[in-house]
Structure 1
Amino acid sequence: MKSYVMEAIGAFFLVLVYGFTSDALAVGLTLMALIYIGFKVSGAHYNPAVSIAFFLQRKISGADLAGYVAAQLIGGFLSAGALFFLSSGVFYLDPPPSTDLYQQAFAEVGFTFLFVMVMLTFSLPKSPRNFQTVGLAAGLTFTGILLAGTPVSGGVFNPAISIGTALFDLLSGGNSYVHALLYTLAPVAGGSIAAGLYSYLYSGNK
Structure 2
Amino acid sequence: MYRKLVVECLGTFWLVFGGCGSAVLAAAFPELGIGFLGVSLAFGLTVMTMAFAVGHISGCHLNPAVTFGMYAAGKFPLKDVFAYIFFQIIGGVIAGALLFLVASGKCGFDVVASGFASNGYGEHSPGGYSMLSAMIIEFILTFIFLIVINGATSKTFSAGGGAVCIGLTLTLIHLISIPVSNTSVNPARSTAVAIFQGGWALKQLWLFWLMPILGGVAGGLISRFLYSKK
Q: TM-score, normalised by structure 1?
A: 0.90
* Greater mean alpha carbon deviation, residues 53-62 or residues 5-14: 53-62
For residue 157 of structure 1, give the secondary structure of its aligned residue in structure 2.
Answer: coil
Provide, for residues 93-132 of structure 1, a one-character-per-residue CA deviation record: whole Å limited to 9, x for no partner.
1331621111111000111111111111112x235x4212
Q: For residue 61 of structure 1, report the CA deviation from its aligned partner.
A: 2.0
Aligned pairs, how many? 200
Query: Between Structure 1 and Structure 2, which shows a larger proportion of helix residues?
Result: 1
* Greater mean alpha carbon deviation, residues 55-64 or residues 35-44: 55-64
> Is 1:139 aligned to residue 167 of structure 2?
yes
Distance 2:42 2:193 in 1: 19
Distance 1:140 1:66 in 2: 27
Q: For residue 150 of structure 1, report the CA deviation from its aligned partner.
A: 1.1
Q: For residue 55 of structure 1, report the CA deviation from its aligned partner.
A: 1.3
Distance 1:103 1:47 in 2: 22
* Identical residues among aligned pairs (%): 31
* Greater mean alpha carbon deviation, residues 70-79 or residues 59-68: 59-68
In our comparison, the structure showing a higher alpha carbon Rg is: 2
Task: Select the residue among 149, 169, 176 that pairs with 1:119.
Answer: 149
Partner residue in 1 for 2:7? 6
Distance 2:150 2:134 in 1: 24
Partner residue in 2 for 1:196? 221
Distance 2:91 2:48 in 1: 18
Partner residue in 1 for 2:43? 27
CA contact (8 A) 2:117 2:182 kept: no
Q: For residue 67 of structure 1, report the CA deviation from its aligned partner.
A: 1.0
> Is 1:179 aligned to residue 204 of structure 2?
yes
Partner residue in 2 for 1:109? 139
Distance 1:155 1:164 in 2: 14
Mark the runs of 5 or more structure 1 residues left unpaired by the alignment: none
Distance 1:167 1:153 in 2: 17
CA contact (8 A) 1:92 1:176 kept: no
* Greater mean alpha carbon deviation, residues 48-57 or residues 19-28: 19-28
What amino acid is the match of 2:210? L
RMSD between aligned residues: 1.6
Provide, for residues 38-96 of structure 1, a one-character-per-residue CA deviation record: whole Å limited to 9, x for no partner.
11010001011110011122322222111110010001111110011111154351331
Matches within 5 A, 1:11-90: 11-22=12-23, 23-88=39-104, 90=111
Q: For residue 152 of structure 1, report the CA deviation from its aligned partner.
A: 1.6
What amino acid is the match of 2:218? I
